[in-house]
Structure 1
Amino acid sequence: MELHKVPNGQHHPGVAVAVHDGVPSQEETFLQHKDGGSKRPQFTDFEGHTSFGMSIFNLSNAIMGSGILGLSYAMSNTGIILFLTLLTCIACLSCYSIHLLLRSAGVVGIRAYEQLGLRAFGQPGKIVAAIIITLHNIGAMSSYLFIVKSELPLVIQAFLGHTSSSDDWFMNGNYLIIIVTLCIILPLTLMKHLGYLGYTSGFSLSCMVFFLSAVIYKKFNIACPLEVFGNHSVNHTVILEDSCSAKFFTINQETAYAIPILAFAFVCHPEVLPIYTELSNPTKRRMQTVGNVSILGMFIMYFFTAVFGYLTFYENTEAELLHTYSQVDPLDTLILCVRLAVLVAVTLTVPVVLFPIRRALQHLLFPGKPFHWLRHIAIALCLLFAVNLLVILVPNIRDIFGITGATTAPCLIFILPGLFYIRIIPPEQEPMNTRPKIQAACFTALGFLFMTMSLTFIGLDWVTGEKRSLGGH
């Protein structure tokens, strides 16, 4: 790496310095000299010990969410070629967004999303960033627990051999999410560092790999046209032959929802900086590699899940892929196991999503305060109580998730990283008319365009009375 100097002979903050005796440069370690170069302030008050592999598991688990169940539906409304194009674009933009966050964090020596907002726009920026992260991740946690609420009773019913739902307490989804929260989610959220969740993240990802394997297997075991089952008998088997042919490019009234589904499926940005904080031997290049590998892995899983699910049901693909399989054979043992695997995966993802919310609230409500176990536990309990209450009391919050998702997702992926980069990178280092700043500005504008488009489609749904599933991360 070259040695850049300023006229006075001192190194400018945020500008790379040379590597001496194998020690990474200042830009690579993100440790900055104060005036006079007398002290190197650290990002955090502890040294990260999470390995490279565990960090990939954590970030991949943060990316992976309930949105994977809607990808085949998105492909059925775009065609294979258009879907692959959109998926590639969203994945590349997510990698670029992580690059902007890491560059901004490196200049100011900060690895907290909210603190970047403080540095870029003062206290209002910090508050806005914390609120956006909190709203988005509460929505994500709620969607995961909604899956537990709706799917776990069906799994228990199948294991007990019941042919219909019962009034037993252990078949009540509201009771089940409370039990799952207290017995599984709460103990994991009480861990001090996010790195320890790498083991559960790895297990969660293995469950989703099993889900993908089942989707591929079923492609070769379900014939089209489909035999769609009702409660006890076949309802119909006559399906137009054209509905069993793959389309490479298609546009219809549902196509516009493909971009929100894909964007929500790649949202992981609130977790990037906390995972970076606990990465061992942290450098910008090392963390960027973690992000790139995680997104590449999810890109492959997403595409194969979408294409094999779509090539199984074609135009008959429903918004939730598992529900489509249940329509074909509600007693299928393999799909029952897949349901159980998905339940395990989303349950183990909730603690990973909770960590950035707690970090945001700590920076917002207790700035500068050292770690305290009572505060750590109290915030987790309050968040889990609020999410459980939301899932229990609100029968269908799909429209609320649509609004928050259409606003928070573009903010976290496009708008805030672009604005942070423009405001934080010194003008003397990169003037506004340089290519990186122009690219960041265009990236931010794309986020506003995406937000406007998503809100417009949701508004049209409300006006026309149509209810469509937006999917979700």
Structure 2
Amino acid sequence: MTIGGLSPVENKGRRSNKEILDENAPLLPTKREEDGGFDEFNGASFSGAVFNLSTTIVGAGIMALPATMKVVGLVPGIAMVIFFAFLTEASIEMLIRFSRAGKTASYAGVMGDAFGKVGKVLLQICVTINNVGVLIVYMIIIGDVLSGTSSSGVHHYGVLEGWFGEHWWNGRFFLLLVTTLAIFAPLACFKHIDSLRLTSALSVALAVVFVVITAGIAIVKLLSGSISVPKLFPSIPNLASVWNLFTVVPVLVTAYICHYNVHTINNELDDSSQIKPIVWTSLVLCSTVYIATSFFSFLLFGESILDDVLANFDSNLGIPYSSLLNDAVRVSYAVHLMLVYPIIFHALRLNLDGLLFPSARPFSSDNRRFALITVGLLSVIFLAANFIPSIWDAFQFTGATAAVCIGFIFPAAITLRDPHGIATKWDKILSVFMIILAVLSNAIAVYSDAYSLFKKDKSLTRS
């Protein structure tokens, strides 16, 4: 199945005419202002679009995937990473195809075309919930890495605490405040997603740095004989271990969620027929990073690998300069998340604006609304990350549910609804499979998180 981008003729008509209803038009003008005049933006490049879409995909998920290899084994794990990449491509293809048929230029517009105002609002709510939760978690991780954490009852030193000791200026609140004002706020001021292409390129490069460091350490230890070849297939001694295999599904289902930015990136392309190779290139790049990270991390840490592999880089690696390498991994990952933040924030702001002001004029002609929404969101996320660090648990419920809706349930539902009669029999079979998989992963995620919270509360009560 391939992604059919908008043809150059259709793209030109979309940008030069006003045939699209206002509610389906992108919130930000693409190459032209609504009055027909050109603004300063001249269209996004292929490489910039690839980096922006890749950065949307590779966020915190890169740290959770290695642990799936411990559960299912190396061979099935890698096969599942590749399988979900193809499944993501199929779901994006559905969105683009129905966008073209309905002459819509946003994800919310496609949902509105298929399910009316209710569908459009539901999509915007899901993107808002998912992205707010993701950004709060990102800030919590950044704070944990740089200033340490005591959420588990034992204080784990952050990088800056380890270097300089405990001071007021490397405390969580101050560091996150500086990060918000010096990094997040300036990058959030860009109205075009293509303006973030350089920071996205750096973000992808930092993810590659993590892979290179992990691979280097693993190869050195493998050659020295201090680590063994990890298990290739899962061990299934009892029925409980079979159930445990399904716990990796939610991680894999949400690993490639990027659908809320596909239309925005496509709208800014000078030639939107490039969207097919852009999506394929991004998925290949991200799949390569995912597979390499999972393989070398599992090779390095084996059965001792933690749910968040970053936590494994908080101890002696058994090689020279272990402490330096640990700090390099942690700092590069923290900076990586800082640069992923504005890409996720961009989609959050657009969808929240569409939810609150569905009939308002575009951001580019209303700087006051743009500033108010930007400042409001930055403030809420900053305060939540500082004063409600346990919100991670809460957003495991809402975030996982919203993410699978965005990535699989909504595209499949649009296809099954088939408002323009273009869905094939295979499309509908695949859509039913996507919905079953998404519902299953949601059920597993909610059960797993509820069970973990129950065990935690029970242990606290006994103590």
| Matched residue type, 1:281 | D
1:159 and 1:463 map into 2 onto residues whose CA distance is 37
Q: Secondary structure at the match of 2:254?
A: helix
| Matched residue type, 2:175 | L
2:247 and 2:170 map into 1 onto residues whose CA distance is 34
| Matched residue type, 2:377 | L
1:31 and 1:420 map into 2 onto residues whose CA distance is 24
Aligned residues: CA RMSD: 2.9
Q: Secondary structure at the match of 1:123?
A: helix
**Structure 2 stretches of 5 or more lacking a match?**
32-41, 148-157, 459-463
- Superposed, 1:370-389 pairs within 5 Å as 370=361, 371=363, 372-389=366-383
2:228 and 2:387 map into 1 onto residues whose CA distance is 41
Partner of 2:35: none
Residues 5, 275 of structure 2: 8 Å contact kept = no
Q: Secondary structure at the match of 1:247?
A: coil
Partner of 2:325: 334
| Matched residue type, 2:70 | S
Residues 111, 119 of structure 2: 8 Å contact kept = yes
2:305 and 2:377 map into 1 onto residues whose CA distance is 35
After TM superposition, give the deviation of residue 219 of structure 1 in Å: 0.5
Partner of 1:422: 416
Partner of 2:277: 289
Partner of 1:269: 259
1:276 and 1:206 map into 2 onto residues whose CA distance is 23
Deviations 1:171-230 (A, max 9, x none): 211221111001111110011111100011001111111111100011034479999xxx
Residues 57, 257 of structure 2: 8 Å contact kept = yes
After TM superposition, give the deviation of residue 463 of structure 1 in Å: 4.1
| Matched residue type, 1:373 | N
After TM superposition, give the deviation of residue 331 of structure 1 in Å: 6.0
Q: Secondary structure at the match of 1:111?
A: coil
Partner of 1:155: 159
2:320 is the alignment partner of 1:309: no
Partner of 1:189: 188
After TM superposition, give the deviation of residue 90 of structure 1 in Å: 1.1
- Superposed, 1:313-462 pairs within 5 Å as 313-329=301-317, 332-370=323-361, 371=363, 372-427=366-421, 429-430=422-423, 434-462=425-453
Q: Which deviates more, 173-182 or 320-329?
A: 320-329
Q: Secondary structure at the match of 1:328?
A: coil
Residues 65, 346 of structure 1: 8 Å contact kept = yes
Q: Secondary structure at the match of 2:446?
A: helix
After TM superposition, give the deviation of residue 148 of structure 1 in Å: 1.0
- Superposed, 1:8-407 pairs within 5 Å as 24=8, 26=10, 29=11, 41=20, 43-44=25-26, 45-47=29-31, 49-153=43-147, 154-160=158-164, 162=165, 166=166, 168-222=167-221, 244-250=228-234, 251=236, 252=241, 254-283=244-273, 286-329=274-317, 332-370=323-361, 371=363, 372-407=366-401
After TM superposition, give the deviation of residue 387 of structure 1 in Å: 0.9
| Matched residue type, 1:392 | N
After TM superposition, give the deviation of residue 99 of structure 1 in Å: 0.4
Deviations 1:344-363 (A, max 9, x none): 11001111001111111222
2:142 and 2:399 map into 1 onto residues whose CA distance is 20
**Structure 1 stretches of 5 or more lacking a match?**
1-14, 18-22, 228-242, 468-473
1:352 and 1:461 map into 2 onto residues whose CA distance is 31
2:302 and 2:400 map into 1 onto residues whose CA distance is 27
After TM superposition, give the deviation of residue 326 of structure 1 in Å: 1.8
Residues 145, 391 of structure 1: 8 Å contact kept = yes
2:204 and 2:138 map into 1 onto residues whose CA distance is 15
Q: Secondary structure at the match of 2:390?
A: coil
2:457 and 2:59 map into 1 onto residues whose CA distance is 25
Residues 257, 407 of structure 2: 8 Å contact kept = yes
Q: Secondary structure at the match of 2:72?
A: coil
After TM superposition, give the deviation of residue 249 of structure 1 in Å: 1.1
| Matched residue type, 1:279 | L
Partner of 1:5: none
After TM superposition, give the deviation of residue 24 of structure 1 in Å: 4.0
1:126 and 1:388 map into 2 onto residues whose CA distance is 28
| Matched residue type, 2:394 | I
Pair 1:335–1:226, CA change in 2 (3 A):
farther
After TM superposition, give the deviation of residue 316 of structure 1 in Å: 1.0
After TM superposition, give the deviation of residue 245 of structure 1 in Å: 4.7
Pair 1:307–1:105, CA change in 2 (3 A):
same
| Matched residue type, 1:267 | I
After TM superposition, give the deviation of residue 459 of structure 1 in Å: 3.1
TM-score normalised by length of structure 1: 0.81
1:451 and 1:84 map into 2 onto residues whose CA distance is 22
Q: Secondary structure at the match of 1:265?
A: coil
| Matched residue type, 2:284 | L
1:445 and 1:105 map into 2 onto residues whose CA distance is 24
Deviations 1:129-182 (A, max 9, x none): 11100010111111211111101122222333x4xxx2x212211221111001
| Matched residue type, 1:454 | A
| Matched residue type, 2:256 | F
After TM superposition, give the deviation of residue 116 of structure 1 in Å: 2.0
TM-score normalised by length of structure 2: 0.83
Residues 30, 106 of structure 1: 8 Å contact kept = no
Deviations 1:265-314 (A, max 9, x none): 2111111111111122112xx21221111011110111011111111111
Q: Secondary structure at the match of 1:77?
A: helix
Greater Rg by CA? 1
1:67 and 1:226 map into 2 onto residues whose CA distance is 30
Q: Secondary structure at the match of 1:220?
A: helix
Residues 224, 313 of structure 1: 8 Å contact kept = no
Q: How many residues align?
A: 417
| Matched residue type, 1:52 | F
After TM superposition, give the deviation of residue 74 of structure 1 in Å: 1.4
1:424 and 1:348 map into 2 onto residues whose CA distance is 37
Q: Secondary structure at the match of 1:96?
A: helix
1:41 and 1:121 map into 2 onto residues whose CA distance is 17
| Matched residue type, 1:318 | L
